[in-house]
Chains A and B, each alone.
Chain A
Amino acid sequence: MTESVNGSVTRTRQTEDVKLLRLLVDRVIDYAIFLLTPDGCVATWNAGARRLKGYSEDEIIGESFERFYPPEARAAGRPTRLLNIARKEGRVEDEGWRVRKDGTQFWADVIITALRDDDGRLLGFAKVTRDLTERRQAEEERARRVAAERAAERLERLQMATAALAIAIRRQHVAEVLADLGSRGVSAAVGVVAVPTPGDQSLQVACVRGAQPIVNVGDRLSRDDPHPLAYAWRTCQPLVLQSREDARDRYPELMPAVEKSPFAAWAVIPLVVDQEVRGVLGLGFDEPRVLDADERGFLLALAEVAAQALDRARLYEAEQSARSEAEAAVHAQDEFLSLASHELRTPVAAVKATAQLARRSIERGSVDGPRTMRHLDTIARSADRLGALVDDLLDVSRLRTGRLRLRLECLDLAGLLREAVDRHAPTATRHQFGLTLADPPMLVDADRLRLEQVLDNLLGNAVKYSPEGGAIRVAARADGSGWLVLVSDEGIGLPAGQETQIFESFGRGSNATAQHIQGLGLGLAISRQLVEAHGGRIWATSPGEGRGTTLSVWLPGSGREAR
């Protein structure tokens, strides 16, 4: 009895519970809770489902649950796959877009649970769906805000970079700003900027920012070096190595350089203007690193701004160096004029003093013929010296500014040498001249007066710099496509290492100066320019001080000669 009562109570209680449960399920409006048959057709429907999906019970019972999915998910077989997983594993969770009756979509969180009886027979599925659209919108909104903030931050960095680069007029300064902002902008451990050297011979590191310098300022890489920096330079392409594995897979040739560095990841961006690489920005990361679109965009924008700044700086520097060259030329000209006027003043002083001396002897009534003659000769000689000096200075000036015009004619070098020796031998009484020539004619295309000037200078030097006398040997012979003229003396020679300076304007051997042998150091400078203007070369050799000098001139043979 009691049992029966109890049983009835229990039954009644169970019936009540089922009612309550059904009520609970039915009244929940925030979740769609419904049952599916084993083949996926809707078996029950609750208030939440009505609200969420828009179908009434009559419309949906017996229909396939696939209609809740967007067409592309259905086409991809997603609903079936989810049921299969639930069947196999007992349950499946999913998030994704679902379709309402009116065609609008909402973001849903779905749990499908397989319902089995005690024997494990599949009775169907319980499906609980929640609308997460708002949460998703909030998340999206937050992500958008974060992205916007990051974008704003990068934009600010980029603006800072643009502003800093706009006032960077030297490439070094551009490199520093770029290495600094580039590495900070993407939190790299090191930023390196390298620029090609003039003529694109090599890529030189201009700036290194960061704790672990892997390269040093001034290091040079050649174009085909297996190094990430050189790679970006030669290919004109950005290079991103997300990790050492990535480098090994995609750029095995760069591995030695990557392994030598302490970095797990690299990003190298070429700085390109007019399809020409003006520099390279290299970034090293301590950890493996994937640059997101935003970071890549930032680096590319920074690279573009920096490339333009480098280009501007290059033009500025070129202009600066052209200007300082021009200033140096003006300065050299000033110095030349000041030296020239200085050199002219001494012979002028001699002329003036001698004239005044002659005048005073007349004033004092102490004139005697031979003495006055001597004074007048001194004046005439000084005037000659002045004239020659003025000619030399004019020549130097003309040659320096490229204003010397040669009147070329076909001449016999042998004849010119013989005449030159004849001019010098009579006055050089302490010297013995020797002349050895190849078979004439020795034809050259030359300006007669200028070539005579060169030969006179060579012979005059030989005499002047062997004040004790001695042999002066002049020899000329065929040499390649031209003629070689050698003038050797037994004079004071040249100190070692001074074979070149004597061909510079106002350049003289230190022993010539020390021994007070007069001269301005213009003759050989003029000769060198004249010989070079004829397409030839001039050089000096000497076994050493006190052991004589040989001046050599090579001149091309005449084009008219059939040799």
Chain B
Amino acid sequence: MTEVRERRVLVVEDDETLREVIAEALRDEGHAVEATDNGVAALEVARNWPPDVVVVDLMMPRMNGEEFSAAIRQLNGMDALPIIVVSASRAVEDTGSRIGVTTALRKPFDLYELTDRVNELLR
């Protein structure tokens, strides 16, 4: 009997309210979700709990979304990990394409769009 592994989403967002809302919406879609408020902690999570998709804020203290994206892709087997960045920055799309992320969304983003993108990537 092969157990199908659950689909895992790692959320990294320093605003508590937004982080909780994103996590709840993704759980509603049937995904397993871990949420942290900074990139350093998220890397720790990813080592023990390799995610299938990452949703990450760009502007965070200590380690920003760009640094985090580069770092997580260095981890074993995660060089092609789909990453969705969200940011209040006007330049989120430019930054996103520069660092080679899958999707870039500007805050305030559409929740349906976010969950649709995650679902597509996990299909």
Contacts and interface: CB of A to CB of B under 8 A. Distances in A.
A514 B107 contact: no
Given A346-B18, A516-B14, A518-B16, A353 B37 contact: no
B111 A513 contact: no
B113 to A, nearest CB: 10
Given A357-B111, A378-B17, A342 B88 contact: yes
Contacts of B67: none
Nearest to B89: A342
Nearest to B17: A350
B108 interface: yes
B107 A348 contact: yes
Nearest to A341: B88
Interface residues of B, number: 27
A396 interface: no
A514 B27 CA distance: 29
Interface residues of A, number: 25
B3 interface: no
A352 interface: yes
A346 B112 CA distance: 17
Nearest to B21: A353
A356 interface: yes
A27 interface: no
Interface string B27-47: 010000000011000000000
A212 to B, nearest CB: 57
Given A354-B21, A514-B61, A345 B111 contact: no
A560 to B, nearest CB: 47
B25 A353 contact: yes
B88 A360 contact: no
B86 to A, nearest CB: 8
B61 A516 contact: yes
Contacts of B15: 346-347, 350, 518
A424 to B, nearest CB: 21
Nearest to A359: B111
A382 interface: yes
Contacts of A143: none
Contacts, number: 73
Nearest to B38: A516
B49 interface: no
A382 B17 contact: yes
Contacts of B61: 513-514, 516
Nearest to A345: B88
A275 B3 CA distance: 96
B88 A353 contact: no
Contacts of B16: 518
B83 interface: no
A95 B16 CA distance: 110
B59 to A, nearest CB: 8
Interface in B4-30: 14-18, 20-22, 24-25, 28
B42 to A, nearest CB: 13
Given A360-B28, A518-B16, A349 B109 contact: yes
A345 B21 contact: no
B25 A357 contact: yes
A250 B37 CA distance: 80
Contacts of B98: none
B110 interface: yes
Contacts of A36: none
A352 B17 contact: no
Nearest to A366: B28
Contacts of A514: 61-62
Contact of A352 (B28, B38, B108): B108
A413 interface: no
A192 B62 CA distance: 54
Interface in B62-116: 62, 86, 88-89, 106-112, 114
B66 to A, nearest CB: 16
Contacts of A331: none
A351 interface: yes
A347 B86 CA distance: 13
A78 interface: no
B8 to A, nearest CB: 20
Contacts of A354: 17, 21
A381 interface: yes
Given A346-B18, A349-B18, A350-B18, A357 B109 contact: no
Contacts of B21: 350, 353-354, 357, 378
Contacts of A350: 15, 17-18, 21
A360 B38 contact: no
* Shortest Cβ-Cβ A-B pairs, 10 listed: A345-B88, A349-B108, A356-B111, A349-B107, A352-B108, A350-B17, A350-B18, A513-B61, A345-B107, A353-B21
Interface of A: 341-343, 345-354, 356-357, 360-361, 366, 378, 381-382, 513-514, 516, 518
8 contacts: A347-B15, A349-B88, A350-B17, A352-B108, A353-B108, A356-B25, A361-B28, A513-B61
